[in-house]
């Protein structure tokens, strides 16, 4: 949650300052940044699965 806060406010305060105030390492923050695309791909996959499951459920509910 701290990394999300730093990301959301990165244009307001320097990353180093935010990391120091929130007591997280800059290395940890940048590792979190590098892992974002993987997480976002997973979120997209989950949305597709949810949509397909919902469509199947709706089709069986109407039958």
Judged against a pLDDT cut of 70, whether residue 46 lies above it is answered with yes
Per the prediction, the chain carries an average pLDDT of 87
- Contact call for residues 6 and 18 (beta carbons, < 8 A): yes
Which residue's structure tokens are 């397909």? 52
Gap between the Cα atoms of 51 and 63, Å rounded: 19
Q: pLDDT per residue over 13-42, tens digit each?
A: 999 999 999 999 999 999 998 887 666 666
pLDDT on residue 38: 67
């Amino acid at each position: 949650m701290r990394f999300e806060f730093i990301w959301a406010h990165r244009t307001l305060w320097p990353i180093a300052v935010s990391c120091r105030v929130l007591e997280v390492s800059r290395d940890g923050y940048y590792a979190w940044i590098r892992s974002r695309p993987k997480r976002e791909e997973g979120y997209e996959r989950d949305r597709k699965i949810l949509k397909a499951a919902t469509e199947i459920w709706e089709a069986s509910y109407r039958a």
